[in-house]
Amino acid sequence: MKRQMIFLGPPACGKGTQTGRLAEYFGLPHVDTGSLLRAEIKAQTENGMIAKQYIDKGHLVPPELVGSIIKDRLSQKDCTNGYILDGYPRSLRQAEILEEINAELNKDEKANFMAIYFDVDESLLLSRIVNRRSCSACGEIYNLKFHPTKVEGVCDKCGGELTQRKDDTEEIARERFDTYKRETAPLIDYYTQKGVLHNLDANGSINEVWDRLLKIVE
């Protein structure tokens, strides 16, 4: 049976870390929609070039266009047994489009669709964001408080220099929380009503959250 999973939760709730780990655990593709969109733009595909026009003007990419990019990716051979989708859907309209995509992809096949909500305290999220650092060379992510490097400012993995994203400030983080609550949080009710939402306590260490996640998906 196909495994099709999406992850919901506010910024810095730990989705990216756990989805990557879970994808490797099940041997499923980890489809990060942000990276996917950037790749389309870099490859100068038709969809990518249209999306770039919106992004360059500071506008949101239309849901139908994002849906077309997602559909193309989920139609590839490595998604035959399912996928783990990170960063999508982010609105009710995108959720409806994903449902249409799955209906077409699955056809007569059985699929187990799960929406997993990362429930975490907002004060913890703020601490995660302002203390987050990433390697300028390999992209590995650390946290000065919860997951520090062995040598301050130096990546454990490749020895690269750690940097802080410009938007990893408390002010911008609170704005992102407000956007999330307004646009994405309604998906919790949407998937609850469909009976596919699973609540995950995302407070605690990476390994603690991982153990809880496995109990839900296995």
CATH of the domain at 37: 3.40.50.300
DSSP the chain: -EEEEEEE--TTSSHHHHHHHHHHHHT--EEEHHHHHHHHHHTT-HHHHHHHHHHHTTPPPPHHHHHHHHHHHHTSGGGTTEEEEES---SHHHHHHHHHHHHHHHTTS-EEEEEEEEE--HHHHHHHHHTEEEETTT--EEETTTB--SBTTB-TTT-PBEE--TT-SHHHHHHHHHHHHHHTTHHHHHHHHTT-EEEEE--S-HHHHHHHHHHHH-
Residue 133 bears catalytic tag? no
Query: Which residue is catalytic, options 165, 181, 194, 215?
Result: 165
pTM: 0.79
Query: Which residue is catalytic, options 73, 128, 132, 133?
Result: 132
Residue 176 bears catalytic tag? yes
Residue 132 bears catalytic tag? yes
Residue 90 bears catalytic tag? yes
Per-residue pLDDT in tens (0 to 9) along the chain, 218 residues: 899 999 998 888 888 889 889 999 999 999 988 889 889 999 999 999 999 998 888 787 899 999 999 999 999 999 999 999 988 998 999 999 999 999 998 987 889 999 999 999 888 888 888 998 999 999 888 999 888 999 999 999 999 999 998 878 888 888 888 888 888 889 999 999 999 999 999 998 889 999 999 999 98
Query: Which residue is catalytic, options 15, 73, 128, 133?
Result: 15
Q: Containing domain of residue 39, as a range? A: 2-217
Structural domains of the chain, count:
1
